[in-house]
Amino acid sequence: MGRYVVRRLLQMIPVFVGATLLIFLMVNVMGDPVAGLCGERACDPATAAQLKKEFGLDKPLWQQYLTYMGNVFTGDFGTAFNGQPVTELMGSAFPVTIRLTIVAVLFEIVIGITLGVLTGLRRGRPVDTGVLLATLVVISVPTFVTGLLLQLLLGIRWGWIRPSVRTGSFDELIVPGLVLASVSLAYVTRLTRTSIAENRRSDYVRTAVAKGLPHRRVVTRHLLRNSLIPVVTFIGTDIGALMGGAIVTERIFNIHGVGYQLYQGILRQNTQTVVGFVTVLVLVFLVANLLVDLLYAVLDPRIRYA
């Protein structure tokens, strides 16, 4: 187990370097970040040159990358164009987004798995067809339409929620979390359903039923535990995607989280902000992947990592 974890951690290094390099190159393709700084007019060349020097943009790209990564390892993520250290932006953005992600994941787990088990056990019945259709509709409508619609109806027409998020406390994040989770939620439902339906005919379930175990115990101890492997995989890796993919949701509900900072960073071609946040997201993604694989062993006793 220990050796396996070490090996996985070592494998993360090239992925981490590759992903950060990739995003670094992508952001630099966007062009000269200084051009947008002077409002509706061109920066005078002297000021532009001075600004480039200040942000290290006058160096060749590879050198910028090396300097940047070097600084990152000392905990210095650079400075945004408004003079604020990127770590400070992270300090205010990540807690909100993490709360939002927790809400979204809770929705996925509670609603998604419940519906999945329900439909998986009642394949082909009206409940199954109804839920199936509902999840399909959720998947096929773009998130921003769902978000705007909920905001209009719940926020203005009926006045049940605040249309925007102010402090970012859990209660304010319920509806945005639901919107963020909606698509994944539908997938979790379908995934659980398929998995349950498949495993229901397996030998060990038949054995358990034949042993005379109560239905509830068969479902929770035997069926669910084995059926959850693909679901756990999905949710685990979804965490990273949720955090980075909240750009649309955070924009609609005015949440000042990671998605907001990334969006602002891209609009202002703020290399340091974008690369910094993505670096952290890549780490989250890698760690989540590792955790999921370790969870395999917990859920499926056949898996032993050496």
Shortest approach of other proteins to residue 185 CB, angstroms? 11
Distance of alpha carbon 108 from alpha carbon 266, whole angstroms:
29
**3-state helix/strand/coil string of 204-258:** HHHHHHHCCCCHHHHHHHHHHHHHHHHHHHHHHHHHHHHHHHCHHHHHHCCCCCH
Distance of alpha carbon 96 from alpha carbon 94, whole angstroms:
5
Regarding 187 and contact with other proteins (CB under 8 A), the answer is yes
What does the chain come to in residues?
306
Regarding 222 and contact with other proteins (CB under 8 A), the answer is no
Distance of alpha carbon 224 from alpha carbon 200, whole angstroms:
10
Binder of other proteins out of 116, 181, 196, 238 (CB under 8 A): 238
Regarding 254 and contact with other proteins (CB under 8 A), the answer is yes
| 226's tokens | 């084995």
The amino acid present at 121, given as its one-letter code, is L
Binder of other proteins out of 57, 69, 72, 102 (CB under 8 A): 102
x/- track of binding to other proteins for residues 10-49 (CB under 8 A): -x--xx--xx--xx--xx-xxxxx-xxxxxxxxxxxxx-x
| Stretch in the footprint of other proteins (CB under 8 A) among 60-68, 171-179, 209-217, 248-256 | 248-256
Regarding 245 and contact with other proteins (CB under 8 A), the answer is yes
Binder of other proteins out of 111, 118, 121, 247 (CB under 8 A): 247
Shortest approach of other proteins to residue 174 CB, angstroms? 16
Shortest approach of other proteins to residue 66 CB, angstroms? 18
Half-sphere exposure of 148 (CA within 13 A, CB side): 6
The residue (of 29 and 210) whose beta carbon lies closer to other proteins is 29
| 246's tokens | 């909240």
Regarding 112 and contact with other proteins (CB under 8 A), the answer is no
Q: Which of residues 258-297 bind other proteins (CB under 8 A)?
A: 260-264, 266-269, 274, 278, 281-282, 285-286, 288-289, 291-293, 295-296
Q: Which of residues 126-145 bind other proteins (CB under 8 A)?
A: 136-137, 139-145
| 110's tokens | 């509670």
Regarding 156 and contact with other proteins (CB under 8 A), the answer is yes
Distance of alpha carbon 18 from alpha carbon 257, whole angstroms:
25
Shortest approach of other proteins to residue 83 CB, angstroms? 4
Shortest approach of other proteins to residue 67 CB, angstroms? 20
Nearest to 184 by CA among 254, 130, 132, 107: 107
Regarding 67 and contact with other proteins (CB under 8 A), the answer is no
Regarding 63 and contact with other proteins (CB under 8 A), the answer is no
Distance of alpha carbon 226 from alpha carbon 301, whole angstroms:
10
Asked if 21 contacts 65 with a C-beta cutoff of 8 angstroms, the reply is yes
Shortest approach of other proteins to residue 217 CB, angstroms? 14
Regarding 216 and contact with other proteins (CB under 8 A), the answer is no
Quickly tell me which residue has 């949710």 as its tokens: 235
Regarding 185 and contact with other proteins (CB under 8 A), the answer is no
φ, ψ of residue 85 in degrees (nearest 5):
-60, 140
| 80's tokens | 């945004």
| Stretch in the footprint of other proteins (CB under 8 A) among 57-65, 68-76, 101-109, 209-217 | 101-109
